[in-house]
Each structure stands twice: as C-alpha cells, then as structure tokens.
Structure 1
Amino acid sequence: MRTLYERDDVIPLIAEVFREHGFEGSSLSRITESTGLGKGSLYHFFPGGKDEMARAVLAHVDGWFEREIYTPLRDAAPDGAIAQMWRGVDDYFRSGRRVCLVGAFALDDTRDRFAAVIASYFTRWIDALRDALVRGGWPAAQAADAAEEVVAGIQGALVLARATNDTAVFGRALGRFQLRLQQRPPV
C-alpha cells in the first residue's frame, strides 16, 4: 500500500534532494524517486513545478529558522537565546553533516532566481544575532561585526566539513564562535 502524503510532508523530502544534488541537479525523476510520488502528484502539490518546490522548501527552512533562531535572538534573554542558537544550528545542520540549502542556492545559478529569499535568510540571522549581542552589552558596531563573522563562519564551516568529509571541523568551529561571543568587548 502506498503512503499518502500531504504537501507539508513532501517538502522536507524534496529539500534533501536539493541538498544532495542542488537545484539544477534535482531532476523530477530524482524527486519522484525520493518522495515516492509520481509526477502527477508532485504537480498537484506544486503546480509551478520545480521552482514552486524550491520556494516551498526555502519557506520551510525560513520558518524553522524564524521560529528556532531569529525570534529567540530578537525576543528572549540574550545569553539563553544565543545558547539556543548554538544548539539549534548544531542540530539543524546535524553537526556539520548537512549542507545549508540556502547557502547552496546562493552559490549557483539558482541565486538570481531566489535572491530576495536568500538575502533575507542571511541578513535576518545577522541582524537578530547582532540585536541579541547589543542587548547583552556589546557596543553596536562590534556586535554587528561579530554577528556577521559568526554567520559567515558557520556557513564556511559547513562547506569545509562537507568538502573534507570531516564533520568535526563544524563542531570545532562552533566551539570557537561560542568562545568569541562569550568574550564581550569593552564598552
């Protein structure tokens, strides 16, 4: 008996295909194989085809980051929110075993197609972390620099962990970034 999916059930499966093969390399046949759905079912859920699938996947990723990372950084006590960010990032990227889909889309020709969504993902993360650091006593300019450095560093650590097939790279980088943010600069 075939499992019936709802649209929201299919999105994480499609996301993993995009993570593994990129947007251009994710053919409909690969997507149907990974989801277990036929092309007709996929087009029922996503009448706009692969572009609509990618938008749904990016919205899914965005929703998770908004709920688990950005909102706590903006609204919760800074130290707890930043600690939650480290746990969430480590878990979401499975300790460096999972590529950042938004980052991957930013690196290929797909970037132009989804530029606003990609830019928003990174700028909201940097802004939310900067705001938490400022609330935690950091001077604004130094908080902005540190937030940008950390988000860029997390992305770089993901790429390096994947390129070297050494997930420990990601864990070591997160540890260094945690120490960096614990060392508040003088006001």
Structure 2
Amino acid sequence: MPTDTRARMVTGAARMISRRGVDAMSLRELAEQEGVPLGSTYHHFPGGKAELVDAAVNHVGDRVAESIAGTRGQGTEHIVRWVLHAWRRILIKSDFRAGCPVLAAAVAKDERHRDTARAVFGRWTDGLIDVLIEDGVPPVRAPSVARTIIASLEGAVGLARAFGQIGPLDDVEAELIRLVAAAAGEPAPGAGR
C-alpha cells in the first residue's frame, strides 16, 4: 500500500507531465508543489525522476485499464463516452493545458519512458479488444478498431488543447460510435465467399 507522500508524488507527477511533458518535469518543483521534502523523492523513488515518471504513467494507465475492465458488458459506446466525459472535465478545469501523460511519455527523449507508454497503450488496446468482440466486432478486426479508438481519443485531446475548444471531442465521440456500430455489423472478412 503506497504511503500518502508517495501517492501524492505520483499523482502530482502525472499532473505535471500532462501539462509540461516528461522532459520538462522538475523534481524540485514537484516536491514544492506537493509540499514534500525533496529527499522524499529519492526515498520513495531511488531511481530518481525516471522511476517516478514511470510510476506516474503506469498509475494513469492502470486507472484507465481498470475502468475499461470495469465497464465490460456495457459496451464500447459506454467506454468512449466515459473517457470523453472525463477529458471534457480535465480540459475545462485545466483551461485546455492538460494532456495525456501516457502520450507525453510516448514522445519523451528517454526510451525507457517510451517503453512504459507502449506497455500502457498495449493494456488499453487489449482491454478494448475484449469489449469490441463482446460488441460483435469480428476478432480479426477488433485490434485495428481498438487502436483507432485510442489514436482518435488521444488526437481529439490534442486538437481540443490546440483550439481551446471541446468540439473535437464531440466530433470524435460521434464518429467512433459510428465506427464501432459499423464494424460490429460487418461480416467477418472472407465470410460468405
């Protein structure tokens, strides 16, 4: 069970990464922001900034993966709407400055962080594949539809931040719901030939 200090540092790091990216995150500023001694960083994260970044990215990744798993049986549409509802709140609260810490890790200089992001995106993809198959999407098509959903959600957040408007989230929500419905209604490739 993580200590309160460790948990605050992880969630604070995730917030800082979402606004600045991995490479601009500062341990000193994080300690000040969270009201913890700088030495606590090295006590809880002996691997320093790199270990804390990976913990923060995995924390966000785990929360989303758990939410995907927790909505099994409610369908892909529910997940898409839930994720975009959460992003609307985050973007408005942050005045469109917050983005996805996992995507920030995916473009970090350190390969270690890109590996962490790939693993998180992989967990999200696997979870979505299961839900898509439950929704009737052919198993052969589900992986590409899952990756399209994740890429579209991440892109919508980027566009919303760039334009300072929620509109891209609304557009992507409507299109993804149509995409899943169409994919579920298609016969499996090669069927009926």
TM-score w.r.t. the length of structure 1 is 0.82
- List aligned pairs for 1:93-132, cutoff 5 A: 93-95=87-89, 97=91, 98-110=98-110, 112-132=111-131
What per-residue deviation string (whole Å, max 9, x for no partner) do you get for residues 160-184 of structure 1? 1112222221232122212221233
Distance 1:29 1:119 in 2: 27
Q: Where does structure 2 lack aligned partners over 5 or more consecutive residues? A: 92-97, 188-193
Q: Which amino acid aligns with 1:49?
A: G
| 1:186 alignment partner in structure 2 | 186
Which secondary structure does the structure 1 equivalent of 2:136 belong to? coil
| Segment drifting more, 41-50 vs 156-165 | 41-50
What per-residue deviation string (whole Å, max 9, x for no partner) do you get for residues 66-109 of structure 1? 2111x246xx32xx142441243124434561311111111231
- List aligned pairs for 1:38-49, cutoff 5 A: 38-49=37-48
Relative to 1, partners in 2 of residues 1:132 and 1:5: Cα closer, same or farther, differing over 3 Å? Answer: closer
Aligned CA-pair RMSD? 2.2
Shift of 1:39: 0.8
1:88 aligns with 2:53: no
Q: Which amino acid aligns with 2:174?
A: G
Shift of 1:42: 2.3
Alpha carbons 1:11, 1:56 under 8 Å: kept? yes
Alpha carbons 1:19, 1:101 under 8 Å: kept? yes
- List aligned pairs for 1:29-178, cutoff 5 A: 29-69=28-68, 71-72=69-70, 76-77=72-73, 80-95=74-89, 97=91, 98-110=98-110, 112-178=111-177
Alpha carbons 2:103, 2:154 under 8 Å: kept? yes
Alpha carbons 1:126, 1:151 under 8 Å: kept? yes
Alpha carbons 2:152, 2:172 under 8 Å: kept? yes
Which secondary structure does the structure 2 equivalent of 1:170 belong to? helix
Distance 2:28 2:166 in 1: 30
| 2:190 alignment partner in structure 1 | none
Which secondary structure does the structure 1 equivalent of 2:172 belong to? helix
Q: Where does structure 1 lack aligned partners over 5 or more consecutive residues? A: none
Relative to 1, partners in 2 of residues 1:84 and 1:136: Cα closer, same or farther, differing over 3 Å? Answer: closer
Q: Which amino acid aligns with 1:36?
A: G
- List aligned pairs for 1:16-31, cutoff 5 A: 16-31=15-30
Number of matched pairs: 178
Distance 2:14 2:131 in 1: 29
Shift of 1:157: 0.9
Larger helix fraction of residues: 1
Distance 1:30 1:50 in 2: 12
